[in-house]
Copies of this chain bind each other. A is one copy, B any other.
Amino acid sequence: MYSVVIVDNHVLLSQGIAGLVNSFDEFQVNYTCSNGRELLSKLESSLDLPEIVLMDVNMPILNGIEATKALTKLYPSIRVIALSIEAKEDTVIAMLKAGAKGYLLKDVKISTLHSTLLEVIKHGFYYDQYVANILTKSLKDDNQYTPAILKKRELEFIKYACSELTYKEIADKMYLSPKTIDGYRSNLFQKLHAKNRVGLVLYAIKNKIFTP
């Protein structure tokens, strides 16, 4: 009987998964948490670790990626399986880099959930075809996936760039000269490989700097 912990802020979902996992002969849910922070503090104060953590990617407080990083570092024996509504390439890569041993979509079939759990116990990981493709592709590309580090002020600027304000107006809002703003713009174009302002907007949205 392998123990499983579920981390997801959607109560309905985590209750649902718990029910399903408990219905599998080989597995049993110890408890559920609603974010990464909660999981970490529960683990700290508990004696026996779960074999598997089913981890939602998008959570408040401490998200799945950061939580997985912390978890695999502190408790290498725990196998994290990511659970997400979407399989955006960047997200998948980030989760795998963080140490996830599998990646499931929330519209997964029950049989797939079961077999993935079994595989992860047996071989330590399980990546389906789609995830495996992303993985090999990202390796081949020597995809260094180092999300550019933006400075405070640049971050502030890029948010404004996602509005319909003119650079002149942004300069006013930030109490800077339009020329300084132009400097930010130019730097960011380079850093983010953007060809124009739309490029900044898309980057900001993809990296959740800005949410439309």
Instruction: Give A contacts to B, CB under 8 Å.
Output: 9-20, 34, 85, 106-110, 113, 161-164, 166, 194-199, 201-202, 205-206, 212
Copies in the complex: 2
A134 to B208, CA, bound (A): 24
Q: Which residues of B contact A107 (CB under 8 A)?
A: 9-12, 34
B199–A164 CB distance below 8 A? yes
Q: Which residues of B contact A195 (CB under 8 A)?
A: 164
Question: Known contacts A85-B85, A205-B205, A206-B212; is A198 also within 8 Å of B12 by CB?
Answer: no
Instruction: For the complex formed, measure the closest distance between the CB of A18 and the CB atoms of chain B, giving whole angstroms.
Output: 8
A33 to B202, CA, bound (A): 35
Q: Which 3 A-B pairs have the closest CB atoms?
A: A16-B16, A164-B195, A10-B106
Listed by A's residue number, 20 A-B pairs whose Cβ atoms lie within 8 Å are A9-B107, A10-B106, A11-B107, A12-B13, A12-B17, A12-B106, A15-B110, A16-B16, A19-B19, A34-B107, A85-B85, A163-B198, A164-B194, A164-B196, A164-B198, A197-B197, A197-B198, A198-B198, A201-B201, A205-B205
Q: Which residues of B contact A14 (CB under 8 A)?
A: 16
B11–A13 CB distance below 8 A? no
